[in-house]
Amino acid sequence: MIFILALIYLVIYYRSRGGENEFVYKDRLAQITRVTIYLFYPSILIATFQLFDCVKLDDGYYLEENLNISCDIAEYHDLYVPVGYVMLIFWGLILPVIVFMRIRSQLESAKKEEAYKVRCKYGFLLGGYKKKYYYWEFMRQIKKFFLILIVSELVRYGADTACVFMIMLIYAFIHFNYTLNTFKSKVVMELENYSLFSSILIILLGIMYND
């Protein structure tokens, strides 16, 4: 997957050099970058949280994803932990805020015709929502962040505890969907809520199965 994306970048870069369609190619490159970041956001967050997941074995604590790495040695605390915190803060929090602030500034400063171009430019983030709720996709990213946080960290305090927090978070978004009516299409909103209700049902079935 990474190789294919790198190949696409190279093709667009070389085709854009000095050509008449340089602006078009660079715009496509920027669009691919935005979509790639959006798609890989949950995966990189999960990988980041895994840097903190250590399990106890007979002779100490080891990284759950790679039992060859000891969590008791200085290298783990001097390298893996700082990298994990930097990635967590930058990728999990700062990057979405930067994208959100950039979109908001462009929408607020643009005229009516230019605002339409901005919405087309970020269509995969803004397209399905009403104009005043252009930020809702970022709220959904926050939901993903906290769901991954709960699954990765709170589960160590008990699966039932983690499940309760997940249900509360998902139900909150169901409530917001109905009260704010953020989606342009009622059908899309109903599908979104059905998927959230299905997630709650799966979690409840998981709790019953574990009991």
Q: Per-residue pLDDT tens for 189-208? A: 999 999 999 999 999 988 88
Say if residues 49 and 152 touch (Cβ distance below 8 Å). yes
Distance of alpha carbon 193 from alpha carbon 185, whole angstroms: 13
The angle formed by the CA atoms of residues 186, 193 and 91, to the nearest 5 degrees, is 110
pLDDT at 42: 86
pLDDT digit string (tens) for 38-95? 888 888 888 888 888 888 888 888 888 888 888 888 888 888 889 988 988 888 888 8
Q: Euclidean distance between the first and final Cα of the chain, in Å?
A: 40
Q: List the beta bridge partners of residue 183.
A: 129
Say if residues 170 and 196 touch (Cβ distance below 8 Å). yes
Say if residues 199 and 170 touch (Cβ distance below 8 Å). yes
60-63: strand order across its sheet: 54-57, 60-63, 66-70
Distance of alpha carbon 11 from alpha carbon 152, whole angstroms: 38
pTM for this one? 0.75
